[in-house]
Structure 1
Amino acid sequence: MFGVSVLAEIAAIILLWRLEPVYDTLLYVLFNLATAGAGAVIAWRRPGNPIGWLFLGFGLLNTLASDLSHGWGLRAAAEGWPGGPVGEGIAAVSWLPSGYGWTLTFLLFPTGRLPGRRWRAVPWLGAAGLVVSMSAWTLSPERGRDFVSGRNPIAVAGLPTGLLLAIGMPLFLGALLAAVVSLAIRFRRSEGLERQQLKWFVLAAVVAAVALPTSFALWYVSPAAGVIAAVALTGLPLAAVAAILRYRLYDVDLVISRTVGYAGLTVLLVASYAIVTVALGAFLGRGSGWTVAVATLVCAVLFRPLRARIQGAVDRRFNRSRYDALHRMGAFLDDVRAGRRLPEDVEVLLREILADPTLELLVFLPETHRYADLTGVSRDGLTGDGRQRIAIERGDQQIGVVLCDATSPLGPELVRRVLEHGGLAVEIARLRAELNLQLTEVKASRARIVAAANAERRRMERDLHDGAQQRLVSIGLALRHAQHQLGSPGGAVTAGAGPGGADIAAVRATLDGAVAEAAVAIGELRELARGLPPAQLDAGLGPACAELARRAPLPVSVRMPDRRFDSGVEAAVYFICCEGLTNAVKHASATRVDLIAAHRREHLVVRVVDDGVGGAAPRNGTGLTGLADRVAALGGSFRVQSRPGAGTTLVAELPCGS
């Protein structure tokens, strides 16, 4: 049907070319194609909605009965072709079926169903008025002005066409008026999504309601009447498509308020210009250039304050949700500045403004590149819950995101406007959330450090008590026994056995046992000292890491600076290399490891890179978590880059001075 409409319009343009003003031809072609095209889109996307098929049917009817028939009639009259008066007659009466199409559209929009049972009679009354009016209009001798010849060739003399029009037109126009009333009633009773849809169509219908009577009154007076009607009617199918298919894409409340606001501003400025011109013209003369200049200056001065006042008044009446939202956000900012409310309350305010108790405001933390709620708790998995995601940005900087109900009648533009208006509160809340997260991490890190220190102290105490201490006690007892074997203090020692003496062999055995126990105690003390900084660090990071590489069961490359650093920094680097190398051997199935350190801008940057299976992540109680705590205690940062199948890289930045 749309394809037939396009072909018919092309033929109509060819027939009408140079027989009437080009703008008149093209405007009505645009209107008919917009109607048929809108119907095609709606019928394709919403085949169960009769609005699309109405637009398709009446768009095709207008194309054939209005444009193509009109073109044939004018071209036949100019070229002497047959059937010219028939085409002119069809074109002259085609506006009546088109008007009935809008009656049905107003009654059925947007759901495709009548507002109620009592409206069932309206389409039938309109159809009856249509038939009677078309008959009278077609057969009336007064319609000669619609023909090139100035005479209606099918007029019936003596037919009471005036009486028929007096009967048919009230029924036809009454049905159209009743359909407009039904649309107004439906709009008044609507809410939620249906109200958003109706706002688009009602806006276009109000424009048409003003333009079409004006066009009808000027139809035989000015050529502008046809232009006014075509432009006003073209807006109706376009608004219908936006209302049915894209009602969430644009902020219709903003369109309405801006339209009414600028219309009122234009009227006031024109009135001001006229008053100033008349007043000054009485003193300076109508042709004075000073009159025009002063009037223009007055309008320029009044523009900004008038626009602000008119827009505020219009928003309070036509865009109440936007006005209330911005007004409440402004009051909230005043409370934040005065210390009466916390910046984190902006999330509660947004929930109240949007009437969405599930709304969440998450802020972006640039240091960790993660999102967190306003308490500083990190959040992952922001998609997949069915809610719409509205990004908050300031310039190129990402501030946060709002997760809200996707079915909310308030569009994302209103949310962005409110967030832009309250950007100060959001930014302060983001900074406070980042600070809370850092404080939480510091507390957790300190708790882990204290717990690890206590556990290590208890382990060393237990090992000393159960191991080295018992060995030393045993050595003391053995030495005491040897003393008794040698006799009383000061006694002489003689070879062999004898009174007051001792068996030299037994004494030697006792001393040998004491020496063995001492060797075991020394070994145990070495085991206890294994967690302390290694002796290799006495020579620097390079030799210590080279020793690690020599003991490793896989190829390890070492690149370390030659200079020395603080002992705490060197110990941290050594343990990072130890942990990374251990993980690469035990868990990552790596074939190669690189130990790299470089001095950059008062920081020592350490990287441990392996080509293993990846997928490593710090977890509570793991060696990576301990490394993060150790680095944080020195004021540095620690990151783990480990995608599955892409190896693992440990990166630590430690402050080390110049």
Structure 2
Amino acid sequence: MPAVMFGVCVVAEIAAIGLSWRLEPVYDTLLYGLFALATVGAGAAIVQRRPGNAIGWLFCGFGLLNAFASDVAQGWGLRAAAEGWPGGPIGEAISAVSWLPNGYGWTLTFLLFPTGRFLSGRWRALAWTGGVGLLISMAAWSLSPDRGRDFVSGRNPWAVSALPTGLLLGIGMPLFLGSMLGAVASLAVRFHRSTGLERQQLKWFVLAAVIAGIALPTSFVLWYVNPAAGIIAALALTGLPLAAGAAILRYRLYDIDFFISRTVAYAGLTLLLLASYAVLTVALGAFLGRGSAWTTAVATLVCAFLFRPLRARIQDAVDRRFNRSRYDALHRMTAFLDDVRAGRRPPEDVEAVLGEILGDPTLELLVFLPESRRYVDLSGAPREDMDARHRIAIERGDQPIGVVRYDGASALGPDLVRRVVEDSGLAVEIARLRAELNVQLVEVKASRTRIITATHAERRRIERDLHDGAQQRLVSIGLALRHAQHQLATAATADIRTTLDGAVAEATVAIGELRELARGLPPAQLDSGLAPACEELARRAPLPVSVRMPERRFDTGVEAAAYFICCEGLTNAVKHADATRVDLIADHDRGHLVVRVVDDGIGGATPRHGTGLTGLADRVAALGGTFQVQSRPGAGTTLVAELPCGS
């Protein structure tokens, strides 16, 4: 049904345009057709989505009445007069009086908006009063001899001279216009009593009604002076059904405060600049001459210079009065940023401030760490569960800084929410840098903890191995030697030789165990320097190893770290990489000792938690250096460590 009514309206307007084309101004033909389509379209949408709301049916009704009684009838009257068709005066008469039922439709709209019901039972009397005034006024208007200007012939063929049309208009028009004013008053009363959602709906319609309330009387006064005044009326009337439909269907409902503030601000700015221009023109004209081009140029430049500061001040004042939520939101964020700059509040409070402004205590701010390419909260904890909540990204240029996640139910509206979040970018950027520092501190603490834990574990292993292995064998050697001492007095030489051979064997095994325990500890050769230690390591290796090391000495900790890197790299190449050759290389470069262990093995090595490579990374990090593993499958492995070592 709604689609059928809109389709009928479209057909009627096409017919009206065809009938009226080039017989009246083009703006008259098109704009009033647009008004009828907007009215029926808004009504059809309301009927479709809110069938219980009487305003939808009301819009469809008087929108179709306007299409047929005003546009089609007017077009028929004009075409009949031009082509000699029959029934022209009838069409002209219907068109001339059609504005009255159209106006009564708006009276009913004011009384019923936005719920489709009267504010109370006593307001029904106002609708009946307007209906009586409508009937009397229509009869007097259509039969009055004074309405000749509404006809092409200049004469009303339906006029009844004996009828007191002036008296009837004197009775009907006050009732008609009075009921319309009463309907406007009911709208004001309803607005005063409304709260929440209904108030937002009323704001939309009241804004359009105020604009129409200024435009329609203006166009009525100028109607017979300048026909182009009809443009004002058509545009103002078209805005009414569109605003009503948007409000009832709740489309971008909470943006109304933005539209109101912008409308009032720019209207006030326009008036102020016009007044400034007029005053400057008069003042400068007294000195430079009234017709001087300099007068116009200087006045224009001054107004252009005043535009930006005046707009900011007027917008601020208007927001304070008409868009308080926007004013409070932006000024609270500005005050918070001032506190951050002054050091009175930490930037991490931006999450709580955004939550308060948006009215969402569950709001969460995540910042982006470019090095690790991940999001973390303000404490540095990683967050991977990017759920389906509403999100607003914060960026600097093309680089992401963070993301705000909230429930999406803020009363500020999406545009203002985005504006507030974007304004918080400075605090978010500072909080991001601090979170990145927290993450690095956590990693340093974890690295040092692993080093300490590994050191204690190694000490316990050495103590256990010494106790269970070499210590027991040395005790056995001692006992064997003591036994040999007793045998010197009583036993044969062969028995003594056997006992001593066993002691020597035990000592040999103990020495081997002590050497095994010493693996991983700085060897004695490191006392002579890094190069001799690595050359000794290469001689013991089961595969060819080349060594290129600086001859100079470095700090003991640096040399130990470099040696262990070579040991671990060589061990991995032998055990895991199936390498046939290893290069141990160290260079002194701009205050750093750069150590490289290169093999030609199978590659694919990755530092994992608990592996030797992780331990090397921790050891290097403890010295303030960097450690990298370059190991593509099939391309060998290269360990690169940069150790600060001074000049």
- Equivalence for 2:435: 433
Distance 2:540 2:13 in 1: 87
Query: 1:407: how far off?
Result: 1.2
- Equivalence for 2:426: 424
Pairing 1:268–2:305 present: no
Contact 2:626 2:643 survives alignment (8 Å) = no
SS at match of 1:379: coil
* 1:182-581 map, 5 Å: 182-243=186-247, 247-248=251-252, 251-281=255-285, 285-384=289-388, 386=389, 388-485=390-487, 487=488, 500-504=489-493, 506-507=495-496, 509-511=498-500, 513-514=502-503, 517-518=506-507, 521=510, 524=513, 528=517, 538=534, 568=561
Distance 2:539 2:66 in 1: 92
Query: 1:563: how far off?
Result: 6.9
In structure 2, the CA distance between the partners of 1:466 and 1:422, relative to structure 1 (3 Å rule), is: same
Contact 1:277 1:295 survives alignment (8 Å) = yes
Distance 1:46 1:624 in 2: 68
Distance 2:508 2:540 in 1: 27
Contact 2:201 2:247 survives alignment (8 Å) = yes
Distance 1:221 1:183 in 2: 32
What letter is aligned with 1:463? Answer: D
What letter is aligned with 1:335? Answer: D
CA deviation map 1:27-82 (0-9, x unaligned): 22222233333444555555665555544444333222322222122112211222
SS at match of 2:368: strand
Distance 1:405 1:378 in 2: 21
Distance 1:629 1:123 in 2: 85
In structure 2, the CA distance between the partners of 1:543 and 1:524, relative to structure 1 (3 Å rule), is: closer
- Equivalence for 1:95: 99
- Equivalence for 1:553: none
* 1:31-180 map, 5 Å: 31-44=35-48, 51-112=55-116, 114-115=118-119, 119=123, 121-180=125-184
Q: Percent identity?
A: 70
Distance 2:537 2:294 in 1: 87
Query: 1:352: how far off?
Result: 3.0
In structure 2, the CA distance between the partners of 1:443 and 1:69, relative to structure 1 (3 Å rule), is: same
Query: 1:320: how far off?
Result: 2.4
In structure 2, the CA distance between the partners of 1:426 and 1:56, relative to structure 1 (3 Å rule), is: same
- Equivalence for 1:557: none
Distance 2:539 2:106 in 1: 90
In structure 2, the CA distance between the partners of 1:580 and 1:412, relative to structure 1 (3 Å rule), is: farther
Pairing 1:636–2:626 present: yes
Distance 2:118 2:571 in 1: 78
Query: 1:515: how far off?
Result: 5.4
What is the total number of aligned residue pairs between the two structures? Answer: 617
Query: 1:409: how far off?
Result: 1.1
What letter is aligned with 2:402? Answer: G
CA deviation map 1:190-209 (0-9, x unaligned): 45555444433332222112
TM-score by length of 1: 0.77
SS at match of 1:383: coil
Contact 1:584 1:610 survives alignment (8 Å) = yes
CA deviation map 1:91-143 (0-9, x unaligned): 22332333333344444444555555655555555445444444443444443
Distance 2:183 2:71 in 1: 26
Query: 1:17: how far off?
Result: 0.9
SS at match of 2:224: coil
CA deviation map 1:475-508 (0-9, x unaligned): 33233323332x1xxxxxxxxxxxx342455445
CA deviation map 1:140-172 (0-9, x unaligned): 444333222333344455445445544544444
More deviation, 218-227/517-526: 517-526
What letter is aligned with 2:73? Answer: S
Contact 2:13 2:33 survives alignment (8 Å) = yes
| Match for residue 5 of structure 1 among 2, 9, 14 | 9
In structure 2, the CA distance between the partners of 1:181 and 1:351, relative to structure 1 (3 Å rule), is: farther
SS at match of 1:378: coil
Contact 1:390 1:402 survives alignment (8 Å) = yes
In structure 2, the CA distance between the partners of 1:420 and 1:148, relative to structure 1 (3 Å rule), is: same
Query: 1:266: how far off?
Result: 1.7
Query: 1:406: how far off?
Result: 0.9
Contact 2:547 2:584 survives alignment (8 Å) = no
In structure 2, the CA distance between the partners of 1:59 and 1:441, relative to structure 1 (3 Å rule), is: farther
Contact 1:138 1:155 survives alignment (8 Å) = yes
CA deviation map 1:353-411 (0-9, x unaligned): 33332222222221222222223232232322x4x212212222222122233111112
In structure 2, the CA distance between the partners of 1:319 and 1:431, relative to structure 1 (3 Å rule), is: same
Structure 2: stretches of 5+ with no match in the other structure: 526-532, 551-558
What letter is aligned with 2:485? Answer: Q
Distance 2:338 2:376 in 1: 26
SS at match of 2:462: helix
Contact 1:363 1:373 survives alignment (8 Å) = yes
SS at match of 1:408: coil
Structure 1: stretches of 5+ with no match in the other structure: 488-499, 551-559, 586-594
- Equivalence for 1:590: none
CA deviation map 1:537-581 (0-9, x unaligned): 95799999997xx9xxxxxxxxx9997798746855985898999
SS at match of 2:375: strand
What letter is aligned with 2:181? Answer: L
Distance 1:144 1:193 in 2: 49
Distance 2:415 2:144 in 1: 55
